[in-house]
Amino acid sequence: MYRAFARDLTAVPGIGPALAGKLAKAGVRRLGDLLLRLPARWVDDRVVTPIRELREGEPARTEGRVLRVDAAGAGRRRQVVVRLADGDGAELELRFFHSDWLLRDARLTPGRRISVRGKPEWWRGRCQMLHPEWMPAEQFAGGWRPVYGSVAGVSGARIAGFIRRGLELAPPEASSPFDAALPDHPSLREALFEAHAAARGPEAAIHARACERLLLEELFTYLHLMRRMRARARIAAPAWPAGEMAARLLEALPWPLTPAQRQAWRDIAADLASGQRMHRLVQGDVGSGKTVVAALAMLAAVENGAQAALMAPTSVLAAQHAETLNSLLAPLGEQVALLTGALTLAARREMLARLAAGEIRMVAGTHALISEDVRYRNLGLAVVDEQHRFGVRQRWALTERGPAVHLLAMTATPIPRSLALALYGDMDLTVMRGMPPGRKPVETRVIASRGRLAEGMRRMLDAGGRIYWIVPRVDEDDDGASVTQRAQALAARFPDAGVLGLHGRMKPAEKEAALAAFADGRCRLLVSTTVVEVGVNVPEARLIVIEQAERYGLAQLHQLRGRVGRGEAQGYCILLPSRDAPAAALERLARMADCHDGLALAELDMKLRGAGDATGVNQSGDVGFRLLDLARDAHLIRDWHDRLPEARPTEAMIRFWRPEAERVD
Ligand code: ADP
Ligand code: MG
């Protein structure tokens, strides 16, 4: 089949080089590009309604004999009126503006029968249709009719004709390697015909099967490609048996691991001992305890004579990691160095020398860890925290600093499994569900009136708590919801709170300074855009207020509220919707109050708002599917990921479905 798909568009009767060039600009270059443009919708032409039974405003198919064709009006009102009559005398007028050529159309000679589809309207007691579709009655086929979108200015009706003729170019023996693996589905060839013909209507089960068959063709090809990339990434690496240092850390911890942490550590230990490079993504809610899991893996590296590096997206976060790791590892007498851009030149030079000599065995840091001049003696493990904040390139960069560096990526952004498989299919996935015991869920409320909020904030500040206030934008606007405007207003109201602003356009050093002031209490009310999403830990932060909350996905709101309630005291999250937020949006927000599972919220997002929102960014577009829709087809990905047919896609198939694959490889 793919040999036919690869044929030039000019193979289709009626498409010349000029038209082909025009279509190519819209991405329709080959026959396959044309044939996989599926109908946008279907029109029910099974029933022909007699003119007498037409009803106002209800689009319908009807038929009649031409009585006469007249011109009427002048200038902009110039029109052609075609009068039709039924056998029983009922009459219908068709009006076409600026269509004088119809006056000379032989198909409208009085006495000829034509078939018409349009919306009936009554005007001065007569039934009429404006610009209906029409054709000689003997050409009307009936049944269901596909309607296509236009391409590069070529009308959907012409596209339909090209597709009909294009399908005839599919040789009868055309097949796909996956046909045999899908006995319950039509073959690719049959599916393609059915998808465009809906022989038994678009609602028939066979039609759904056919459309699914096409999706599976794309899905399987994609999953095979991912598998191939994964196989390439999986190279031999020294096997590290789980050792004594990890056991000693577990003993020294003041609490037992949660079941989720135990599972994650089991997965990782198995990877490290396997003799192949680990390439694992650990996904766990904010506060689920990923740091100690990373510490265990880092100890395994050290114990086996290798270095371990942990990379975080900001220096505040990197510093927090170093501090946490150092207190976790103190009982073992192990130390973690901190490498950020903030080091003095001399300190940096010394640290680089010690890293290159292998004296530093564990290091936490920012992008500084992948600077050109940083050399590792024998880097064996790269931990990348909040990995979605780094591009794919950066994620890999740290692993390229040694011959076979294990990769442990961690993220607190929950993504539904199907999405994770699709987006990060080149990694193994561990999902950590559940929190360490005793964690109080952040009390969440949607409020409409802001009056009482100020009182609550006052009480919170007086009790020593700190507050995040999230606004949607940096630039000033009428609603006052920019960082500067809101910070000014709040500073006037709470002069003792040391109000500061924080947003993504500030210089890194300014951002860090604001976060540091908030962390040590010089600032107790921080007005920020969503940049605070990244995991800073300020235990005194107990209240987060989110303006225009309906703009955000639930998973993102969950991330934001994870900033508070990290200490002993109860945390609160107040969602302030816009005044004109629709009822459905409020209902969606209300789910935040009783659901505290990030993954469940992400799944809900995906159902309600599509894949883009579930991931926070529109990654579904980046994945570049032709037919698949990550949100709509999540069930297919889930169903087939683990029972992918063994048959391999041919190179022609891979080129067809994933033209950018060469770049990825
Ligand atoms: P994450 O990085 O997943 O957001 P952290 O690793 O920062 O979470 O852990 C959050 C908090 O939970 C830390 O204060 C940590 O000490 C604590 N913690 C981690 N694991 C456990 C556990 N098994 N029992 C009790 N507390 C834990
Ligand atoms: Mg963390």
Mutation probe of ligand 1 site: the residue of 249, 292, 321, 323 with most atoms within 8 A of C-beta? 292
Q: Is 289 in the pocket of ligand 1 (CB under 6 A)?
A: yes
- 251 Cβ neighbours under 8 A, 6+ residues apart: none
Ligand approaching nearest to the C-alpha of 285: 1
Integer-rounded Cα Rg, in Å, for the chain is 32
Q: Is 286 in the pocket of ligand 1 (CB under 6 A)?
A: yes
Atom 13 of ligand 1 has which residue's CA nearest to it?
A: 289
Atom 12 of ligand 1 has which residue's CA nearest to it?
A: 289
Residue 20: its pLDDT value, please? Answer: 94
Ligand approaching nearest to the C-alpha of 436: 1
Q: Is 290 in the pocket of ligand 1 (CB under 6 A)?
A: yes
Distance CA 237, CA 631 (A): 36
Q: Which amino acid is at 419?
A: L
Q: Which atom of ligand 1 is nearest to the CA of 293?
A: 6
Q: Is 361 in the pocket of ligand 1 (CB under 6 A)?
A: no
Distance in Å from the first CA to the final CA of the chain: 25
Distance CA 377, CA 401 (A): 9
How far, in Å, from the CA of 286 to the mean position of ligand 1?
Answer: 9
Distance CA 448, CA 453 (A): 10
| Phi-psi map region of 111: left, alpha, beta (phi>0 left; psi -120 to 50 alpha) | left
Distance CA 497, CA 466 (A): 9
Q: Is 539 in the pocket of ligand 1 (CB under 6 A)?
A: no
Residue 388: its pLDDT value, please? Answer: 66
Residue 213: its pLDDT value, please? Answer: 97
Atom 17 of ligand 1 has which residue's CA nearest to it?
A: 289
Distance CA 121, CA 92 (A): 10
Tell me: the pLDDT tens digits for 147-187? 998 888 898 889 999 999 999 999 999 899 999 999 999 99
Distance CA 428, CA 596 (A): 25
Distance CA 407, CA 472 (A): 35
Q: Is 188 in the pocket of ligand 1 (CB under 6 A)?
A: no
Distance CA 228, CA 250 (A): 37
Low-confidence stretches of the chain (pLDDT beneath 50): 612-622, 662-665
Distance CA 454, CA 23 (A): 59
On the 0-12 / 13-18 / 19+ scale of CB atoms within 10 A, 303 is middle
Atom 24 of ligand 1 has which residue's CA nearest to it?
A: 436
Best CA proximity match to 258, nearest among 5, 123, 436: 436
Residue 364: its pLDDT value, please? Answer: 97
Residue 616: its pLDDT value, please? Answer: 41
How far, in Å, from the CA of 442 to the mean position of ligand 1?
Answer: 16
Per residue, what are the HEC states of 385-420? CCHHHCCHHHHHHHHHHCCCCEEEEEECCCCCHHHH
Distance CA 550, CA 583 (A): 10
How far, in Å, from the CA of 436 to the mean position of ligand 1?
Answer: 7
Ligand approaching nearest to the C-alpha of 286: 1
CB 510 within 8 A of CB 501: no
Residue 621: its pLDDT value, please? Answer: 37
Q: Kindly compute the dihedral angle of the four CA atoms of residues 245, 250, 252, 258, in this order, to the nearest 10 degrees.
A: 160
| Phi-psi map region of 434: left, alpha, beta (phi>0 left; psi -120 to 50 alpha) | left
Distance CA 593, CA 115 (A): 58
How far, in Å, from the CA of 293 to the mean position of ligand 1?
Answer: 10
Distance CA 52, CA 154 (A): 35
User: 285 pairs with which residues across the strands?
Assistant: none
Q: Which atom of ligand 1 is nearest to the CA of 284?
A: 3
Residue 533: its pLDDT value, please? Answer: 55
Q: Is 253 in the pocket of ligand 1 (CB under 6 A)?
A: no
How far, in Å, from the CA of 406 to the mean position of ligand 1?
Answer: 23
DSSP states along 149-188: --BTTB-HHHHHHHHHHHHTTS-TT---TTTTT-TTS--H
Q: Is 412 in the pocket of ligand 1 (CB under 6 A)?
A: yes
Q: Which domains does the chain have, with CATH numbers?
A: 2-42+145-230 (no CATH), 47-139 (2.40.50.140), 244-432 (3.40.50.300), 443-595+597-619 (3.40.50.300)
Query: Helices H, strands E: what count in the chain?
Result: 24, 22
Distance CA 308, CA 349 (A): 19
Q: Kindly compute the dihedral angle of the four CA atoms of residues 370, 365, 368, 503, in this order, to the nearest 10 degrees.
A: 120
Distance CA 10, CA 169 (A): 12
Residue with tokens 């950590």: 432
